[in-house]
Structure 1
């Protein structure tokens, strides 16, 4: 059976805390509230230290790519673009 993912999932699969309670709260893999719960390494805090697939160049500066917690948060103009992969 398939896992229920955020935003339908309301609790972290690892610790049971609330999932995505505030807009700035991370949601990892649609199941977890923190890297520790997901079994991942802590993310980089500076774009210069992050892997290149996590960064992009905007206005001549290296910055993090925008992150969306679920498909519902992706702007309509981006989700309808056939050149974007899911």
Structure 2
């Protein structure tokens, strides 16, 4: 089944919340990683490999992505969508 994502703005202009219709992080605890951290989670690794992504925070069916101050969402978000498609479709 293809994953559906919805981008939601946050009060922080350097962060967006991505809501999904599937569980992307298993278990009750959160996942918090910054650029350069090693992870075996396929989506987290794909998101952190995007130039301009500073860190991610995820629980169950959402992930918040924060970018560096000089990065542009117009450049990052298409790559984020492609990461979801690559991992979940």
TM-score by length of 1: 0.28
Normalising by structure 2, we get a TM-score of 0.28
Q: Higher strand share goes to which structure?
A: 2
More helix by share: 2
